[in-house]
Structure 1
Amino acid sequence: MRRCSNTAIAAVTVVALCSGAWLLAGGAAGHAPPQPSAAQAQPSAAQTHAEPDGRRTSAAPALPPSPASRVRIPSIRVDAPLMGLGLTPSGSLDVPPAERTNLAGWYEAGTTPGETGTAILAGHVDNADGPAVFYRLGALRRGSTVEVDRRDGGTAVFTVDSVEVYDAEDFPDEKVYGAAGRPELRVITCGGGYSRATGYQGNVVVFAHLTGSR
């Protein structure tokens, strides 16, 4: 498997996730996906990696490389298989098939979840028929757990540091995809404002770091 830096991903990262076909069809009136509040954004330096009750969460030792196979986020009822994702010809991150509502993907040319660096997961917020795998991602809270099963039989356990939403034109590539000196995870879907002409105007991004394994 060819490995490369996550920073090679273009700023138009998950444009194919963001058509908002369900909203366009009018099926989501009053039921737009939740968006993260300011309280879930990146904490100050003094609070970084602190749990909601003020206790600090330490990083766990890195795991050896192993492809990912499944993601679970218990607090928002996500339990989905993972497929490998590559890049489109334009350099943006490819996406799972829209018709597979309970399927997410991971960027298989980059860091594997649990090893040192920044691993990337992505999935649809909805499709033409209704909510998809990461519909409730914007409701995730700091301190929540994200579990990623690996093909070596182990599970990487991550703790959420922040949940943020960015306009597509201001997407912070380096912050999201930049190299990390410890095992980190980003989980990405569409979010922000919505336009009937262009779909969702941005992305919800979960920032997390490895705090355990089993």
Structure 2
Amino acid sequence: MRLPVYLYGHPVLRKIAAPVSSDYNGLKELVEKMYETMYDSEGVGLAAPQIGLSDRIVVIDADPVKDSFPECEGRKLTLINPEIEILDGETVVRDEGCLSLPGLSERVPRVENIRLKWVDENFEPHEEVITGFLARIVQHECDHLEGMLYIDHISMIRKQLIKGKLNNIIAGKTRCDYPVKYAPKSRK
């Protein structure tokens, strides 16, 4: 079952997500629905806040970008309560998009080397050094758990230049090929 993707302007995207405990009801089914939603939306990652849940859950399948980024081949990750440690290394600026910001992409600086700790949907612990574009995907999705979006990493000038597009998303004037949930209309 595809779930709607919550779009820019919805308050859930700005909340810090809560840790998930091992007794989380329906976790495996939720993870399956998140993967289905991500695939149907043609994304490579999806965080729980993007489906309206303020929980520390991320799904990633980076395999679709393996031709451009070999480190992504076969990389499918379910991250519960992920923790990122930034490692020494260069910062690279690349285009990023987001299912919650349809029709937009911006050049975002991110580090290329991280250490990631997480548990999977069976609450088995994992730790791995992740590099390259996969590290970017992980950082992007984990930002959602902190109430951040990739546009929080761009300059104020760029934000001003895309303000009209952002306002169109908030106003519900953006159309998508996947089910979405717009921000609630403010009552004045």
Q: TM-score, normalised by structure 1?
A: 0.29
Q: TM-score, normalised by structure 2?
A: 0.32
- Higher share in strand: 1
